[in-house]
Amino acid sequence: MTRRKLYHYNFSAQADNVIESGKPLYQEVKGNWNKRYFKNENPIVVELACGKGEYTVGLGRKFPDKNFIGMDIKGDRIARGSAMATEFNLANVAFLRGGIQYSHEFFEENELSEIWLIHPDPQVRERDEHKRLTNPNFLEKYAGFIRPGGLFCLKTDSTFLYEYSVETLKDSPRYKILEHTDDLYQSTLLDDHHGVKTHYETIFTGKGYTIKYIKAEVLH
């Protein structure tokens, strides 16, 4: 392990805004995010596969009346998001270290108002469909966490993942696609991403890639 990674892991271990194995709330937070962590009844928004937490922190700064959780398996990544949230004194932002396949261990039914996926790995090989974060199994899992009428939103530079996700959402009885576009920056939906642009999105758009976007409502 590099010295930098070790520093980030140690930072997460000490950070109050990071929930991870070994900390008291890790096994107690399911169904209790409002009561035990945020200590308010504001809506909860989760960014899955949040990486360095840029989007989670960006939304947290724009919407102080909502609570935000960034979830990722990489402790050195979320340590950076944790540090940013601390720097901006964001009491409405937390980070959860865990695999998305185990998200049912941390979120109760109807506990969330929104889930965001921001540029996840498209997993283009057919044999890796089970890893795609918009495959039918994952979508079913998310629908259980999001209250009826809540939102599931995806931003991606991958045409493959965009088209795949449109089809899987259309095929699911749990979702209704409200809007989608294959070129967010040239569409009337641009305000939907609230002006928060991650480092990698800046790189993608600089290389000429268009950003795709889907907004879907959870029906039941």
Query: Which of the residues are catalytic?
Result: 121
Distance from C-alpha of 93 to C-alpha of 210, rounded to nearest angstrom: 29
Q: Assess contact for 192 and 153: CB atoms under 8 A.
A: yes
Query: Among candidates 96, 183, 185, which has minimal Cα distance to 145?
Result: 96
**DSSP secondary structure letters along 184-204:** GGGSTTGGGGTT---HHHHHH
Cβ neighbors of 129 (< 8 A, separation 6 or more) are 123, 135
d(CA 198, CA 201): 5
Give the Cα separation of 213 and 166 in Å (integer).
10
* CA terminus-to-terminus distance, the chain: 44
Nearest to 137, CA basis, from 113, 171, 160: 171
